[in-house]
Amino acid sequence: MTVVAALVAGTAFVAPAPAARAAVPLQKVGAFGPNPGALNMYVYRPAGLPPAPAVVVALHGCTQSAQIYADNSGLTEFADRYGFLLVFPETTSANNGNRCFNFFEPGDNRRGQGEAASIRQMVAQAATDYGTDPARVYVTGLSAGGAMTSVMLAAYPDVFTAGAVVAGIAYDCADSVAGAYTCMNPGVDRTPSAWANSVEDAYPGYAGPRPRVAIWHGDRDTTVVPGNADELRDQWTAVHGLGQTPDRTATLGPNGTQREQYLAADGSVAVEVDRVPSIAHGTPVDPGTGPQQCGTTGTANFIRSICSSYWITGFFGLDGSAPQPGGLPAPDGLSTTGVTDTSVTLAWNDVSAAASYAVYRDGVRIATPTGSPFTDTGLSPGSTHTYAVAARDAAGAEGARSAETSATTTGAPARCWTADNYQQVRAGRATSDGAYAYAKGSHQNLGLYNTFTTHTLKESPAGYYVIADGTCP
């Protein structure tokens, strides 16, 4: 037990140390075929893995390891929920003194060479060992792992369906250590066509479909400056033959992440940029048990904000939301027809042959009504939500989602207060038994009754308080 003593009103209190979190069980694959990049391969296999599962390759950042990335990023939580395989490549200090993937080395960032070839071989080994679906192979990573994600998408467009670059840089920005630092900060500005040429040169003669790309970046990142998100956008929109003005925008979650989407001709999202406010360099996570929460903090470069792995999983279509080829078209005309303090009513134009519809609130499917209109209830007063609708056929397969619409409920929004437990009790928002403090109404345990333990409390309805650390608007 760790002793934490504090003196409040003449009383000393002792708090138990938090329970240690068990490490995610990874399996090391000792031999996976040719390994010119001298990498390690680890696999996370969720219980009840279905036949022909999707596979996500997850690339750690500098100074990290496969285990650290698995333990903190939140990806394994969604592998458990949705049933996909995770492959965690790992580099070593023998390859790079800071244990960074060598995204800037020509011997490692080209098709068929070095680390890139080793990662591609891991995908092949996963197919052999687990029967993974070759049409559903994805890659994501942080920082140097994000930059290596760019490498894999450019060098192996025939392997990867989509990727998500977190705090990374565009493909072929650098070919040396010095160049890599310049790309990271202050950044390198090239035209979209120049960036696209780099991708096309990575696999000369390739004429097949290009991967879809999501780009995540904190707006206070000084390690890999936010301008790199724009260069990545320029690169991949140009690769897809698109302009650099988003077709639609949205706000995600209570932290205000700004999403920009660039649509292909069929209405699918080819490129997406998610700009996370008020965070520095790292993977955005949101510890908790809610459906949109994931990950842990306490390890460098995992920052409490929004659960990026939740949204990345959705971008990959692994949450069941991806439209099937040849599926039903997106409903049009989605609009808000009524708003109260606690509800929003939506209407849309019917889709021929639709048996039902899937309604999404803030990216999460909340209902499957048989038609329009639909009323979403149980909302908080003064809260803003983004909605989309997809048509479903008789078998339940969803088509493309509609354009999004936003609505704000009437009434005053919930009020929030951040203070130490002593002040929360003095203000009447909490009670105390002399040792611990408890939120008034919900009776949630706030921890020790002292001036060192701080929480945010949300009042909704009046006189009823709940813990809202990191989630209160």
- Collapsing DSSP states into helix, strand and coil, what is residue 97? coil
CATH number of the domain that 404 lies in?
2.60.40.10
Query: What pLDDT is recorded for position 322?
Result: 55
Residues 66 and 159 in one domain: yes
Query: Residue 417 in contact with residue 457, Cβ under 8 Å?
Result: yes
Residues 158 and 180 in one domain: yes
pLDDT exceeds cutoff 70 at 3:
no
Query: Is residue 143 annotated as a catalytic residue, yes or no?
Result: yes
Residues 368 and 427 in one domain: no
Average pLDDT over every residue of 446-459: 91
pLDDT exceeds cutoff 50 at 12:
no
* Portion of the chain with pLDDT greater than 70, in percent: 93
Q: Rounded mean pLDDT of the chain?
A: 90
pLDDT exceeds cutoff 90 at 412:
no
Residues 246 and 371 in one domain: no
Average pLDDT over every residue of 208-223: 97
Exposed, middle or buried by CB within 10 Å (0-12, 13-18, 19+), for 183? buried
Residues 394 and 293 in one domain: no
pLDDT exceeds cutoff 50 at 13:
no
Query: Residue 223 in contact with residue 283, Cβ under 8 Å?
Result: no
Answer with the one of 388, 408, 428 that is the final residue of a domain: 408
The whole model's pTM is what? 0.70
Domain membership flag for residue 279: yes
Residues 305 and 341 in one domain: no
pLDDT exceeds cutoff 50 at 97:
yes
Dist CA 240 CA 155 (whole Å): 15
pLDDT in tens, 29-57: 999 999 999 999 999 999 989 999 999 99
Which stretch, 17-21, 152-156, 438-442, has highest mean pLDDT?
152-156
Average pLDDT over every residue of 354-382: 89
Question: Residues near 136 by Cβ (< 8 Å), separated by ≥ 6?
Answer: 53, 54, 55, 84, 161, 318
Query: What pLDDT is recorded for position 21?
Result: 57
Which stretch, 3-7, 25-29, 441-445, has highest mean pLDDT?
25-29
In the structure, what pLDDT confidence band is assigned to residue 379 with cuts at 50, 70 and 90?
confident
Residue 6 backbone class (left: φ over 0; alpha: ψ -120 to 50; beta: rest): beta
Give the residue numbers spanning the domain of 429. 415-467
Domain membership flag for residue 15: no
Residues 308 and 233 in one domain: yes
Which stretch, 17-26, 265-274, 386-395, has highest mean pLDDT?
265-274
Q: Please provide the size of the chain in residues.
A: 473
Query: What pLDDT is recorded for position 15?
Result: 32
Residues 419 and 404 in one domain: no
pLDDT exceeds cutoff 80 at 127:
yes
Residues 424 and 400 in one domain: no
Residues 107 and 242 in one domain: yes
Domain membership flag for residue 372: yes
Number of domains in the chain: 3
Query: Residue 412 in contact with residue 388, Cβ under 8 Å?
Result: no
Domain membership flag for residue 473: no
Q: Which of 65, 118, 143, 321 is catalytic?
A: 143
pLDDT exceeds cutoff 60 at 14:
no
Question: Residues near 75 by Cβ (< 8 Å), separated by ≥ 6?
Answer: 44, 56, 58, 69, 86, 140, 294, 309, 313
CATH number of the domain that 113 lies in?
3.40.50.1820
Dist CA 162 CA 167 (whole Å): 17
**311 or 18, which is more confident:** 311
Query: What pLDDT is recorded for position 321?
Result: 61
Domain membership flag for residue 40: yes
Residues 119 and 248 in one domain: yes
pLDDT exceeds cutoff 50 at 469:
yes
Domain membership flag for residue 87: yes
The strands making up 374-376's β-sheet, listed across from edge to edge, are 335-339, 344-347, 374-376
Residues 238 and 378 in one domain: no
**378 or 364, which is more confident:** 378
Answer with the one of 259, 288, 316 that is the final residue of a domain: 316
Query: What pLDDT is recorded for position 344?
Result: 95
Exposed, middle or buried by CB within 10 Å (0-12, 13-18, 19+), for 280? middle
Query: What pLDDT is recorded for position 319?
Result: 86
Question: Residues near 471 by Cβ (< 8 Å), separated by ≥ 6?
Answer: 254, 286, 288, 456
Average pLDDT over every residue of 109-133: 96
Domain membership flag for residue 16: no
Query: What pLDDT is recorded for position 411?
Result: 81
In the structure, what pLDDT confidence band is assigned to residue 325 with cuts at 50, 70 and 90?
very low
Least confident of 116-130, 332-346, 385-399: 385-399
Domain membership flag for residue 19: no
